[in-house]
Amino acid sequence: MTDAPLLRISNLAVEFGPKKNPLRVIEGVSFEVPVGGSIGLVGESGSGKSVSSLAAMRLIPEQSGRIAEGDIELMGRDLLAVPASEMPKIRGSEIAMIFQEPMSSLNPVMTIGDQIGEALMLHGEKDKKRRRERTIEMLRLVGIPNAEGRIGAYPHQFSGGMRQRVMIAMALSCNPRLLIADEPTTALDVTIQAQVLELMKRIRRELGTAILMISHDLGVIADICDRVVVMYAGRVVEDADIRSILTRPAHPYTRGLLRSVPRRNDTSDRLFQIPGTVPVAGTIKRGCPFRSRCELAEAQCEREMPPMFKFEGDQRAACWVTAREASAAEPEVKV
């Protein structure tokens, strides 16, 4: 198992709602994060990006949802077989996560120092002084000025960008192998976003932490990631290295997405637009979820969900039409 990926998600399905009449919000989701790699997860709002990543942490809210199908492996270890009481050991130390909302993701009644210290304590650092030192070190690392002076501060005394950096410091404090970042910059301004993105890149470079970056912004992904997984309505529709995605996207949705973003050298009068509206994840029971908005849609798209065809290189996409055109290979496993 030497070259096993750090995280492998295969054929994952998550349901919400009553067991009798569940809503499958993601289905057949498969992707891998290699050791030290950097994977981007893009897609429209509600396409299942967060749910997929929460599933990897086994943090799907128990009351309303559950993992219905699929496997999640962390370094070859079957995460779904780990008893629930063992998960806390893995969370934070093996996989850490930062969330979209820097404003609400920190506990408002605990000091910054305590919150980072807690993570350290939970993963074995019992010595108070060393915890403090490490906390300061982490805050320095993420570029909080006057770190010593600010460990006693409360989250509300920090700006959004600083809070997001605190979140990152907390997530990194136990040297996780994998950092899941769920839209870490969406709530931030452009100039602050730039700071955070730079920080993430540095961390990956210096600490070798693998990153699973979730965003709806292809620009952000392009900046950070080696590889991109594109989701649409609860399914993975394309999975390829960043270069392929940007230069020759295989799925019509990915293509549309790229074209509808105004570019620097774009001189056309009108933007390219994908017609129609985004379906709610899980409501499309049959066929390709993108077909109603797809220029290329055919009869087959109505009937059958396309499998992930293997395209040139390491590129995979779920489209009958483009696969045929590119004479892409049939997938090894049919979904």
Partner 1 sequence: MSDPILTAEGLGKTFGGDTGLFGKSGEAVRAVDDVGFSVARAETLALVGESGCGKSTLGRLLLRLIDPTDGVIRFDGKEITKLSPSQMRDMRRHLQIIFQDPFGSLSPRRSIADIIAEPLEVFGLERSRRKRRDRVAELLDRVGLPSAYMDRLPRSFSGGQRQRVGIARAIATSPAFIVADEPVSALDVSIQAQIVNLLQDLQRDEGFSYLFIAHDLAVVRHIADRVAVMYLGRLVEIGPKDAVYNLPQHPYTQALISAAPEPELDGPNTRIVLEGDVPSPSNVPKGCAFNTRCPLAQEVCRRERPLLREVAPGQMAACHFAEPNPVKLQPRGDPPAT
Partner 2 sequence: MLRYILSRLIDTVPTVLMVLTMVFIAMRVLPGDPAIAALGDLATADQLAEFRERMGLNEPMLTQYLTFVWNMLTLDFGQSLMNGRDVSGLIAYNLPYTIELTLSSVFLGVIVGVPFGVWAATNPNKAPDSAMRGYSLIGYAVPDFYLGALLLITFSLNLGWFPINGGGDGFADRLYHLVLPAITLAFIKSAFLGRLTRTAVLEVMGRDYVRTARAKGAREKRVIYRHGLRNALLPLTTGLGLSTLSALSGSVAVELVFNRPGLGQLLISAIAERDYAVIQAGITVFALFVVAINLLMDLAYVLIDPRIRVK
Ligand X SMILES: Nc1ncnc2c1ncn2[C@@H]1O[C@H](COP(=O)(O)OP(=O)(O)OP(=O)(O)O)[C@@H](O)[C@H]1O
Binding site for ligand X (CB under 6 A): 16, 25, 43, 45-51, 61, 64-65, 216, 280-281
HSE-CB at 259 with a 13 A cutoff on CA atoms is: 16
Which residues of this protein are in contact with partner 2, per CB under 8 A? Answer: 57, 59, 61, 63, 85, 88-93, 96-97, 99, 101, 104-111, 118-119, 122-123, 154, 156-157, 167, 170-171, 174
Does the protein bind partner 1 through residue 256 (CB under 8 A)? Answer: yes
Q: Which of 30, 47, 50, 215 binds Mg ion (CB under 5 A)?
A: 50
Question: Nearer to ligand X by C-beta: 65 or 102?
Answer: 65
Distance (Å, whole) CA 308 – CA 306: 7
The strands making up 309-310's β-sheet, listed across from edge to edge, are 95-98, 178-182, 210-215, 38-43, 227-232, 235-241, 316-317, 309-310
Task: Give least dist CB 264 to partner 1, A.
Answer: 6
Strand order in the sheet with 23-33: 23-33, 7-16, 65-74, 77-78
Comparing CA positions, the residue from 158, 198, 160, 99 lying closest to residue 147 is: 158
By beta-carbon proximity to partner 1, the closer residue of 54 and 199 is 199
As beta bridge partners, residue 66 has 15
Instruction: Give 152 or 219: the residue with its C-beta nearer to partner 2.
Output: 152
Question: Helix, strand, or coil here: 106?
Answer: coil
Confirm or reject binding of residue 204 to partner 1 (CB under 8 A): yes
Which one of partner 2, partner 1, Mg ion, none is in contact with 157 (Cβ closer than 5 to 8 A by kind)? partner 2
Q: Does 53 bind Mg ion (CB under 5 A)?
A: no
**Least Å distance between CB 291 and partner 2?**
35
- The entry of ligand X, partner 1, Mg ion, none near residue 51 (CB within 5 to 8 angstroms by kind) is ligand X
Cα(98)–Cα(58) distance, integer angstroms: 15
Of partner 1, Mg ion, partner 2, none, which one does residue 118 interact with (CB within 5 to 8 Å by kind)? partner 2
Using CB under 8 A as the binding rule, the residues of this chain from 26 to 65 that contact partner 1 are 38, 44-45
Burial of 72 (0-12, 13-18, 19+ CB in 10 A): buried
Strands 235-241 and 316-317: antiparallel
Which of partner 1, Mg ion, partner 2, none sits in contact with 63, Cβ below 5 to 8 A by type?
A: partner 2
Which residue, 111 or 300, is less far from partner 2 as judged by CB? 111
Residue whose CB is less far from partner 1, 133 or 189: 189
The verdict on 52 binding Mg ion (CB under 5 A) reads no
Provide the 10 A C-beta neighbour count for residue 294. Answer: 21
- 50 or 315: CB nearest ligand X: 50
Show the DSSP H helices in 96-176 as ranges.
112-122, 128-141, 147-150, 160-172
Query: Whole-number minimum distance, CB 99 to Mg ion, in Å?
Result: 9
Q: DSSP string covering 29-54, please?
A: EEEEE-TT-EEEEEESTTSSHHHHHH
CA distance 70 to 36: 24
Q: What is the contact surface with Mg ion in residues (CB under 5 A)?
A: 50
